[in-house]
Amino acid sequence: MVFLILLVGGTVGYMLIEGWPFLDALFMTAITLSTVGYGEVQPLSSGGVVFSVFLILFGVGAVLYVLNTTVQTVLESHLGEILEVRKMKARINALRDHYIVCGFGRVGHEVALEFQAQATPFVLIENDPEAQEKAHSLGYLYVAENATADEALDAAGIRRARCLIAAVGSDAENTYITLCARSMNPKLFIVARVDSTRGEERLRQAGADKVISPYRIGGRTIAFTALQPHVSDFLDSATGDRWIAEIEVNEGSDLVGMPLGEFRRTRAGNNVVLGLRGPSGHFVVSPSAHRRLAVGDRMLVLGREKDLASMKLPDNHPPADRPARG
């Protein structure tokens, strides 16, 4: 815009001062501003010489200023992107015991929303530019790569992670991601999305600890609500703002050997013990008060978030696993 104004002003100036034709005045203005040095189109009068001096001083300076500003803007933008990427990498590298979500589609988006609501540290892996832009606008940490690549899993901190969620739209990709993740971190807890019955078995063979079908869960929920609407309403009102937390009994904890009834009276507070899973994997709903807690037991406890956080656990016992909505 500045160059166009100078070009028009110089052309009009030469036409008025020297009486030159339009093309001669335009050409003279162009070679003056560009400092090409072809020489005058026609001999200049004293007024034309003075005008040319001012055009050179102000015009060339203005053009150089515009070019400098343009280059600076481009460099600053590029530098800003580089610094932002480095900052994100540093934040990801600082994570420990975090969650990795592969795929930021509809399922991945819901998972990320729930993690954010529970202040759970997580990293997304997504190679779609639109999904990356959406993740960036929401302030999520993400790796801009294909989740099937070992480099992407490594960049997301797979070896330091607590859990990986394979939630891309393809069973084949989720299976491959599960295989790679399991080989890179054998202790990792892996939850995989599946769309087909055949894919479920393959994912389990690949090393997935849990295989979830969003369509099956959605269909069952809809059918349950249609068949038993009052029960569904009761469950919704019973859980409401309550959460379910998982408490593991570790070796050295003073919970070992404690009767479950005593735990309910002295430690659970306003929370409710829904069930217990022993080291063998057997799950007991509403376990007996006489059942003594043992190393490896996992209790599922229902309560409001503040009550779960204030549960009286021994000092040497880790806090309850992050709760899930009831």
CA–CA–CA angle 53, 56, 58 (5° rounding): 105
- Give one DSSP letter per residue of 213-232, joined into a string: -HHHHHHHHHHHHHH-HHHH
**What's the token pair of residue 43?**
């001999």
CA distance 46 to 44: 7
CA distance 218 to 257: 40
- Identify the CATH assignment for 242-325 out of 3.90.1640.10, 3.30.70.1450, 2.40.50.140, 3.30.530.20: 3.30.70.1450
pLDDT of 318: 46
Q: Does residue 300 contact residue 244 with C-beta atoms inside 8 Å?
A: yes
**What's the token pair of residue 133?**
């832009």
pLDDT of 324: 52
Q: Does residue 74 contact residue 81 with C-beta atoms inside 8 Å?
A: no
Q: Does residue 98 contact residue 161 with C-beta atoms inside 8 Å?
A: yes
Q: Does residue 63 contact residue 7 with C-beta atoms inside 8 Å?
A: no
CATH number assigned to the domain covering 2-89 = 1.10.287.70
**Domain spans in the chain, listed from the N-terminal domain onward:** 2-89, 95-218, 242-325
Classify strands 142-143 and 122-125 as parallel, antiparallel or unpaired.
parallel
First to last CA, the chain: 61
Task: Walk along the chain (326 residues) and give the pLDDT tens digit of each residue.
Answer: 666 777 788 888 878 888 888 888 888 877 777 766 666 777 878 887 788 777 777 776 777 777 777 777 776 666 667 778 889 999 999 999 999 999 999 999 999 999 998 889 999 999 999 999 999 999 999 999 999 999 999 999 999 999 999 999 899 999 999 999 999 999 999 999 999 888 888 999 999 999 999 888 888 888 888 888 877 777 676 556 677 888 888 888 888 999 999 999 988 888 889 899 998 888 899 899 999 999 999 999 888 878 887 776 654 444 455 455 44
Q: Which residues contact 37 (CB under 8 A, 6 or more apart)?
A: 31
Q: pTM for the complete prediction?
A: 0.64
Q: What is the topology classification, in CATH, of domain 95-218?
A: Rossmann fold (3.40.50)
Give residue 252's Cα distance to chain centre. Answer: 37
Return the number of other C-beta atoms located less than 10 Å from residue 281's C-beta: 8
> Which among 140, 141, 151, 146 has a CA at the least distance from the CA of 89?
141
Residue 198 sits at φ, ψ, to 5 deg, of -65, -35
CA–CA–CA angle 318, 322, 323 (5° rounding): 125
HSE-up of residue 302 (Cα within 13 Å, Cβ side): 13
